[in-house]
Amino acid sequence: MTSGRSLAGGIALILVVMGVAIAIERFRDGTYRLAEPPQDALSVTSNTAVGRLSLGFRVLNADLYWIRALQYYGGVQRAHHEGRRSNEAGPEYGSLFSFLDLATSLDPLFNIAYRFGAIFLSEPAPAGPGRPDLAIQLLNKGLAARPDKWEYMQDIGFVHYWWNHDYKAAAEAFEKASQIPNAPWWLRSLAASTLARGGDRRSSRIMWTVLAQSSDNDWLRNSAARSLLQLDALDAIDALQKVVATHRERAGVPLTWQGLIRAGALRSIPADPTGTAYDLTPDGKVRLGAASSLAPLPQEPPAAPAS
Amino acid sequence: MNATLWIAVNVFRESVRDKVLYNLVVFAILMMGASYLIGQLTAGQDIKIIKDLGLAAIAVFGLFIAVFIGIQLVSKEVERRSIYSMLAKPIRRPQLVLGKYLGLVLTLAVNVGVMVAAFYAVLAYMRWTAPPAVLDALDGPALDPRMLKAVVLIFGQLAIVTAIALFFSTFSSPILSASFTLGIYVAGHFSADLRNFDQVIDSAVAQAVARGLYWVLPNLASFDVKAQVVHAVPVPNGYVALTLGYGAAYVAALLTLAAVIFSRRDFK
């Protein structure tokens, strides 16, 4: 009985003291907010050094660097969404490639680190560092480790197509991917259509549809689905631009969506596939709404015809 | 032989009394906690990372048991002076060394066995809850039995580490034994560098020393096939068998040396 009471008393004391500690911590955090100095996301940048320090735990260390890459990428993106600069020394996303390079050096078979990494690296600001060259470098590293992975060569083609607008290089990459054993049959036709109609929004749609349907990963599928929505938005903007141009020629008045609705040109304020209203600038240009999750839209070559 | 087995069983019983098996609870909590947290963090790579983490945790938990119990196997008996009563019985000293070793290896086997069961249980749960697309993206099945090859080799590595710890325990203090054992564990992962030393240095003497160290130090890196099994890269049975054979020979050499040293020790 006595020992039971002393145990209960001990547990109660622990709870009280822990409660006091948490209360003090909360009070301190609410009262004093110290500015954090900019810091380097990476403390060790040598693949060799990290590999040696890992002893028999290289792949686990690769996982940790992969998680750090995701947190780092997400952290910089979140800082952008919140309208502040990330707490990082040096250029934004400047350490992203190093994280991915370390993860894939420690585990050269880390499939998703190559594929996601290439997407992260290719995205232009503010969604990414806008470094398709590093994306291709990472994918080539993956191919050196796994020459049987036609997906990496396909991804190289995507980067050339979508971000470099180098349709010849994209077609070559798709062609090379199609020659890798077990590659799907449609890569060869993708190579041909890319060469014939490079930059065409229709061929872009074919590519993203293929990726959305063939990818074995939710994130890649979602990324492809988002790109398809971006293409829908581009189509809608082109159509709206024609409406605006027609109305402007007829009426020649300062343009607003309400004005176009009153004139019978539109039934309601047009919205993109995510439901965010398009913006109409005073000089008559239709743009994606600032709050749209589809922003930024991909840049198309000047000569690309709308589908 | 009966005396050896009697000692081995007693070492196992003592480890149970010392609550060594409590580490299994920690392992289970680690695996379950990690499986939840990692799912939030890793963009569909949770099963791959749980495989990596589980195999690494089995190796680390086993390493701690092998080192921190192995270094006390003999020294504790000397410190407690219970060695006198043991040596008064009809037990030969080599039998004592072998019995102590087998007892700790048995403890490790039970630990590793339970950890493997918990590891596969967590993977089974993750496989059950994972969307088909995530399972398709894995290099190998979630419950890939080929991962057992890595576990077998981890166990082989732990058997060597136990023999190293026991060897030092026969003539050194626990702190020094732990330092030496962990030092050899680290050096054992750099054996490939020792083998390739001649490519970075011209001195023939240094090359000979490095080559000698390469043969003398245990090649622990060869027991590490965790990356291969997680990515479903084939690990031939012959490789596993030869590596285990190498390990058995190395353990036999260490135990013989330990028995010789222990037989020559004067406890008067």
Per-residue HEC secondary structure of B98-117 comes to: HHHHHHHHHHHHHHHHHHHH
Name the residue among A56, A62, A112 with its Cβ closest to that of B189.
Answer: A56
| Domain identity same for A122 and A258 | no
On whether the CB atoms of residues A114 and A220 are closer than 8 A, the answer is no
Contact B189 A67 (CB under 8 A): no
| Domain identity same for A119 and A58 | yes
| Domain identity same for A92 and A123 | yes
A214 at the B interface (CB within 8 A)? no
Looking at residue A306, its pLDDT comes to 43
A59 at the B interface (CB within 8 A)? yes
- Domain enclosing residue A135, as ranges: 47-192
| Domain identity same for A110 and A167 | yes
B138 at the A interface (CB within 8 A)? no
A71 at the B interface (CB within 8 A)? yes
| Domain identity same for A146 and A254 | no
Q: Which residues 215-274 of A are in CB contact (within 8 Å) with B?
A: 216-219, 221
Looking at residue B149, its pLDDT comes to 95
Contact B134 A217 (CB under 8 A): yes
- Other residues' Cβ atoms within 10 Å of the Cβ of residue B89: 9
B231 at the A interface (CB within 8 A)? yes
| Domain identity same for A125 and A248 | no
**Domain assignment present for B72:** yes
Indicate the number of domains in chain A. 2
C-alpha span between A157 and A176 (Å, rounded): 9
C-alpha span between A296 and B109 (Å, rounded): 57
C-alpha span between A49 and A46 (Å, rounded): 5
C-alpha span between A73 and A251 (Å, rounded): 48
Residue ending a domain, among A139, A169, A192, is A192
Looking at residue A37, its pLDDT comes to 60
**Domain assignment present for B136:** yes
**Domain assignment present for B185:** yes
Q: Which residues of B touch A218 (CB under 8 A)?
A: 44, 131, 133-134
**Domain assignment present for B198:** no
Residue ending a domain, among A192, A222, A256, is A192
Looking at residue A135, its pLDDT comes to 95
pTM for this structure?
0.72
B220 at the A interface (CB within 8 A)? yes
Looking at residue B248, its pLDDT comes to 93
On whether the CB atoms of residues B102 and B144 are closer than 8 A, the answer is no
**Domain assignment present for B138:** yes
- A–B CB contacts, 8 A cutoff, strictly below: 68
**Domain assignment present for B213:** no
Residues of chain A short of pLDDT 70, as ranges, are: 1-2, 35-45, 84-91, 197-199, 214-219, 249-254, 299-307
Give how far A299 is from chain B: nearest CA, Å: 27
**Domain assignment present for A95:** yes
Angle subtended at Cα A137 by Cα A80 and Cα B139, rounded to the nearest 5 degrees: 90
B30 at the A interface (CB within 8 A)? no
| CATH code, A100 | 1.25.40.10
| Domain identity same for A289 and A254 | yes
Indicate the number of domains in chain B. 1
Looking at residue A217, its pLDDT comes to 66
Is the alpha carbon torsion for A51, A57, A58, A61 positive or negative?
A: negative
**Domain assignment present for A291:** yes
Q: Quote ipTM for the complex.
A: 0.72
**Domain assignment present for A86:** yes
B238 at the A interface (CB within 8 A)? no
Binned average pLDDT, 10 residues per bin, chain B of 268 residues: 86 85 80 74 77 91 91 83 80 89 94 92 88 78 92 96 94 91 90 74 81 86 90 91 93 92 80
- Domain enclosing residue B135, as ranges: 2-189+224-264
| Domain identity same for A137 and A218 | no
CA nearest to A111 within chain B: B139
**Domain assignment present for B160:** yes
| Domain identity same for A184 and A65 | yes
CA distance to A114, A252, B44, B131, per residue, from B136 (Å):
17, 58, 11, 9
Residue ending a domain, among A126, A157, A192, is A192
**Domain assignment present for B145:** yes
On whether the CB atoms of residues A102 and A112 are closer than 8 A, the answer is no
Q: Which residues of B touch A58 (CB under 8 A)?
A: 227
| Domain identity same for A211 and A171 | no
Give how far B125 is from chain A: nearest CA, Å: 20
B187 at the A interface (CB within 8 A)? no
Closest alpha carbon to A277 in A292, A262, A267 = A292
B156 at the A interface (CB within 8 A)? no
Q: Which residues of A touch B139 (CB under 8 A)?
A: 109, 111
